[in-house]
Amino acid sequence: MSATTYHGGLIFDGEVLHDGAALTVQDGTVVALGPETGADSSGDQVDLAGDILSPGYVDLQVNGGDGLMLNDALELDTLRRMGQAHRRLGATHILPTLITNTLAKTEATIEVTKEAIAAGVPGIAGLHLEGPHLSVARKGAHDAALIRPMEDSDVLMLTAAARDLPALMLTVAPENVTVDQVAALVEAGAVVSLGHTDADFATCTAYFEAGARSVTHLFNAMSQMGNREPGLVGALLNSGLASAGLIADAVHVHPATIRNAWAAKQGMGEIFLVSDSMAPAGTDQAEFTLEGRRIARRDGRLTLEDGTLAGADLDLTTAVQVMCDQVGVPLAAALRAATSVPAALMGLGKGIGRLEVGAASELIRIRSDLSGCAAV
């Protein structure tokens, strides 16, 4: 199969935005990235016409897509359709996310995800379990009746899942999970993320020290930063260890708040972008249900009947656009937050979230005005 060379636009490699460069790919593997002058001219040539070539997005919080919610359709075909829908939106690797549910459904979700990985279902990089070990006080759209403490049997199930899956993220709250349980989960390979919690600064800092390395949808459903009590927000911004997912839709978090958090974040941990997308992703669906509760889609929001935000009506190209146009983040930094930063947090393979010579990479072409993208 002949090589294909892309040129005539910006090329983002996961870290750096290259101008005047060319990328050559053969059989899905990057074989060259360098100056446009002197690039391979023997194969197919693709003029980007000013667009941006990038590795596909890595989305660590995906509750649904293509009209389906993972919670309501625990089947291999659901994961296949979710992967396809988000691939069309630019996310080539996703963590399907189960919202707080019963033990039986949690076990079933782990099994169907293992099945999808074994079958090589495109786009499925692992699993995110958001709950049920959260705080009722910060439940958001989660069902309070299903929230409960983590027990020894849960730890055994989750540590086994962490060993069996290529990537497992667990959103937990200190109110219902102990420091020792976090340490055991981390030892098994899970990425523990604090979220849906009212815990104070000192408690959250202790959980980061125990191995928690992430925060779920920063600012939403958590203790906020005050003058005398910094809460989880302050603990995250102060931590050099932990990263944080962010729903950058200018609905869940004000752009000015994002700007201040971006500037304040300390250490190696970084802020990354998530869609927190629900069933409507990739469709024109106007409403759907979550465990029998109606959720309406209107004006860029998804809400329960009482007005509570329930996930987001967002794709990562739009999130990148918000970060650039409303927050003022440089394009390369915004793209990092949607690609290499989440990939590195989860320890995903070579070529995921990055363009590396010798590695297979899935590419997307982003319009120069950030109004959308397409698979390459």
| pLDDT at residue 316, rounded to an integer | 98
Pairing verdict, β 64-65 and 191-194: unpaired
Q: What is the DSSP letter of 349?
A: P
Pairing verdict, β 21-26 and 4-7: antiparallel
The maximal CA–CA distance of the chain, rounded, in angstroms, is 65
Q: How many residues does the chain have?
A: 376
Where are the chain's structural domains? 4-54+357-375, 56-346
Q: For residue 2, name the pLDDT band (cuts at 50, 70, 90).
A: confident
Question: Picking from 9-13, 35-39, 78-82, 336-340, which range would have the lowest pLDDT averaged per residue?
Answer: 35-39
At 178-222, the pLDDT tens digits run 999 999 999 999 999 999 999 999 999 999 999 999 999 999 999
Q: Mean of the pLDDT values across residues 113-119?
A: 98
Q: Distance (Å, rounded) from C-alpha 346 to C-alpha 275?
A: 16
Q: Which residues contact 77 (CB under 8 A, 6 or more apart)?
A: none
At 343-360, the pLDDT tens digits run 999 999 999 999 999 999
Q: Tell the CATH topology of 4-54+357-375.
A: Urease, subunit C; domain 1 (2.30.40)
CB 95 within 8 A of CB 126: yes
Q: Which amino acid is at 131?
A: G
At 156-182, the pLDDT tens digits run 999 999 999 999 999 999 999 999 999
Upstream peptide bond of 122 is cis (omega within 30 degrees of 0) = no
Tokens of 33: 């990235």
Q: Distance (Å, rounded) from C-alpha 22 to C-alpha 1?
A: 19
Which backbone phi and psi does 13 adopt, to 5 degrees?
Answer: -100, 10
Is 294 a residue whose pLDDT tops 80? Answer: yes
Is 42 a residue whose pLDDT tops 90? Answer: no
pTM: 0.97
**Residues annotated as part of the active site:** 276
At 125-142, the pLDDT tens digits run 999 999 999 999 999 999
**Does the fold of domain 56-346 match that of domain 4-54+357-375?**
no
Q: Which of 317, 291, 315, 287 is CA-nearest to residue 302?
A: 287
* Percent of the residues in the chain that have a pLDDT greater than 90, as a whole number: 91
CB 339 within 8 A of CB 57: yes
Is 46 a residue whose pLDDT tops 80? Answer: yes
Q: Mean of the pLDDT values across residues 263-274?
A: 96
Q: Distance (Å, rounded) from C-alpha 351 to C-alpha 104?
A: 35
Q: Distance (Å, rounded) from C-alpha 19 to C-alpha 149?
A: 52
Q: Tell the CATH topology of 56-346.
A: TIM Barrel (3.20.20)
Q: For residue 291, name the pLDDT band (cuts at 50, 70, 90).
A: confident
Instruction: Determine the distance from the C-alpha atom of residue 70 to the mean position of all C-alpha atoms in its chain, rounded to a whole number.
Output: 15
Q: Mean of the pLDDT values across residues 240-263?
A: 97
Which backbone phi and psi does 91 adopt, to 5 degrees?
Answer: -90, 105
Q: Which of 12, 97, 21, 8 is CA-nearest to residue 56?
A: 12
Q: For residue 1, name the pLDDT band (cuts at 50, 70, 90).
A: low
Which backbone phi and psi does 73 adopt, to 5 degrees?
Answer: -145, 75
Burial 98-134 (b: 16+ CB within 10 A, else e): bbbbeeebbeebbebbbebbeeebebbbbbbbbbbbb
Q: Which amino acid is at 280?
A: P
